[in-house]
């Protein structure tokens, strides 16, 4: 009789022990927060802690852990903008960012250059667009010359049109006179000219040997009355410091 009571008792004790061993506390849920980011202009990539979120402004970044996070906005033509925000539990922050253009343009002039005939060392004919300096086309700095004022046809020409000079500059006549009108250069092609008139009224876009764009205008001119009085022009220009950047 006692033998038959042992099995039920053992089964009961096994169930009781198993039940005690498998009971666990639920894992705590980590609180999360979010942020809504907008930018001017819009369309900037949103990077979070150095990782691309694959979202662009304006948009929300959700499921962020509580604490400080670093955000970077990236948009072509603008400087990267980085900021930090403290994310709070169950709360959405809002951030508005104005992006800053990465355009880098230097203004030069007026600089005077003279025709190539009948000039002295003190009357340089060549121009270095990147530095704003005028040089003689036969002097020690001739290899820096991008354009020069030629007596042949009274044209401002690409440096390589002169014997001994190699730098190539292309010309495209613009449609305005104000260098600061915000008009960008068209893309330079083989159809661009190799010279411009010394009486051109509009500004002219240039593309030089180092792949930089400039926007140049003749401010005034004079001379050319006879021997000892060579013709000259004063020019001003904007030089884009970034290669292949057409913006002005």
Q: How many CA atoms lie within 13 A of 26 on its CB side?
A: 3
Instruction: Give residue 28's pLDDT band: very low, low, confident or very high (50, 70, 90).
Output: confident
**What is the Cα Rg of the chain in Å?**
35
C-beta of residue 211 within 8 angstroms of C-beta of residue 243: yes
The overall pTM is greater than 0.85:
no
State the pLDDT at residue 192: 98
Reported as a single tens digit per residue, the pLDDT across 200-220 is 999 999 999 999 999 999 999
Structural domains in the chain, sorted by start: 32-98 (2.60.40.1120), 105-240 (no CATH)
State the pLDDT at residue 22: 53
Encode 147-167 in three state secondary structure.
Answer: EEEECCCCEEEEHHHCCCCCC
Please enumerate in sequence order all residues whose Cβ is within 8 A of that of 156, keeping only pairs 6 or more positions apart, or say none: 113, 147, 148, 149, 150, 195, 196, 197, 198, 233, 235
Instruction: Give residue 2's pLDDT band: very low, low, confident or very high (50, 70, 90).
Output: very low
C-beta of residue 240 within 8 angstroms of C-beta of residue 208: no
More confident residue, 99 or 9: 99
Reported as a single tens digit per residue, the pLDDT across 92-142 is 999 999 999 999 999 999 999 999 999 999 999 999 999 999 999 999 999
| pLDDT surpasses 70 at 20 | no
What does the alpha-carbon distance between residue 131 and residue 102 come to, in Å, rounded to a whole number? 20
* pLDDT, averaged across the chain: 92
What does the alpha-carbon distance between residue 102 and residue 200 come to, in Å, rounded to a whole number? 31
What does the alpha-carbon distance between residue 53 and residue 74 come to, in Å, rounded to a whole number? 12
Reported as a single tens digit per residue, the pLDDT across 134-179 is 999 999 999 999 999 999 999 999 999 999 999 999 999 999 999 9
Instruction: Give residue 23's pLDDT band: very low, low, confident or very high (50, 70, 90).
Output: low
Q: For strand 32-40 and strand 92-98, is the pairing parallel, antiparallel, or unpaired?
A: parallel
């Amino acid at each position: 009789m006692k033998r038959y009571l042992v099995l039920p008792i053992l089964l009961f004790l096994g169930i009781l022990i198993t039940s005690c061993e498998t009971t666990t506390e639920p894992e705590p849920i980590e609180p999360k927060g979010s942020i809504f980011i907008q930018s001017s202009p819009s369309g900037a990539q949103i990077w979070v802690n150095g990782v691309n979120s694959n979202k662009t402004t304006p948009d929300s970044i959700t499921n962020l852990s509580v604490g400080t996070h670093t955000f970077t906005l990236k948009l072509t033509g603008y400087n990267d903008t980085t900021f930090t925000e403290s994310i709070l539990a169950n709360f959405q922050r809002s951030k508005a960012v104005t992006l800053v253009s990465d355009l880098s343009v230097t203004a030069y002039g007026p600089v005077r250059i003279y025709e190539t005939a009948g000039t002295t060392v003190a009357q340089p004919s060549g121009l270095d667009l990147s530095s704003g300096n005028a040089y003689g086309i036969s002097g020690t700095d001739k290899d820096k010359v991008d354009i020069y004022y030629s007596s042949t046809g009274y044209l401002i020409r690409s440096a390589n049109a002169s014997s001994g000079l190699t730098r190539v500059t292309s010309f495209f006549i613009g449609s305005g006179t104000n260098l600061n009108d915000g008009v960008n250069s068209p893309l330079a092609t083989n159809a661009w000219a190799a010279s411009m008139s010394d009486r051109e009224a509009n500004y002219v876009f240039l593309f030089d040997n180092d792949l930089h764009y400039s926007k140049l205008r003749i401010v005034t001119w004079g001379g050319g009355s006879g021997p000892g009085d060579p013709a000259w022009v004063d020019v001003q220009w904007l030089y884009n410091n970034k290669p292949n950047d057409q913006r002005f």
